[in-house]
Structure 1
Amino acid sequence: MESPLPLLYLDVDGPLIPFGGDPARHRTHLTARRIRELTGESNPLLARLDPAVGHQLAELPCHLIWATTWFDDANTCIAPLLGLPALPVLPDPPHTTPRLPPGVHWKTPALTAHAAGTPFAWVDDEITEADREWVAHHHPGPALLHCVNPELGLTDRDFTILENWLRHPA
């Protein structure tokens, strides 16, 4: 019996919309007109989304899940620009979440609980060693916490790492 595909939790700001550093270094891939046609939005940061990244994400052997403060807006504002279908969204953590240890991102316990032992990769620009320790102690399955440089966003090197891990979660 074939095991289920791993999950890939995906942040938007940083991995998909590069930011920080010299603004002149950030390429634009979409015109304001195209963004409005596809989403009805006029957020200038959306021009930094590279539609080719959407194809690369769709080719990965995993189930994609938004893990972003964009929440459901990722499906209306981001997915159409990347050519992706609507994706599941990591739920907002309950307001009764216990106090987390220093350095643990609010997403960490939420995605660990959501994965429920299923192998997963998490792509974000805010992953810390505290997050890695939390996952090691609270997730019984394999997990890859992949930190992306927010000035660059996802690169070919990042996709190589993700593809290799997702094909053989360890």
Structure 2
Amino acid sequence: MKRTFALLLLSLWFAIMLFGCTSSPTSPSTENSDKATTSDATEAPLPETKEDVLSLFAQRKQESWVVLDCILTPDHASDRVGVVLFQDGDSVNAAFLRRDGVYQQCGVMARAADPLQLTYLGDGTISFHIRTEDGSVYLQQITCTIQGNDVSFVAKTGPRETTA
């Protein structure tokens, strides 16, 4: 009995190792990173309007995602040309796009607040308002930094800014 069980586990492990490691993408950012090369990114035209950024994003977005807003990144920090903010279920996500439409994304578990006030602060940092489950509104900042193959995000949540 023990020998049969051990043989079954060994067979299962072998099947997982053989078929479990496929080249199929498991996330949008992995899929998009594999589809384009760096040379593609430098040959594509620079988007000049929010509509251009939305058009780039539309090529790769999932149907269930609801686009909230987008913004150009005039300093092209980390070779990004724009950021699209979208709602995906219970999370607000920011997709930082290259000129060829490839993006890396980061999200926070919250809903978009009204007004959203998406703002590009420079150097790969955006800010916008979120609403938590208890109805509180906060200012969310996300910074995207890309150096070579290393992608990092820093998310900071703080009190909502009030205007005088």
TM-score by length of 2: 0.26
The structure with higher relative contact order (CA 8 Å, sep 6+) is: 1
Q: Give me the TM-score of the superposition, normalised by structure 1.
A: 0.25
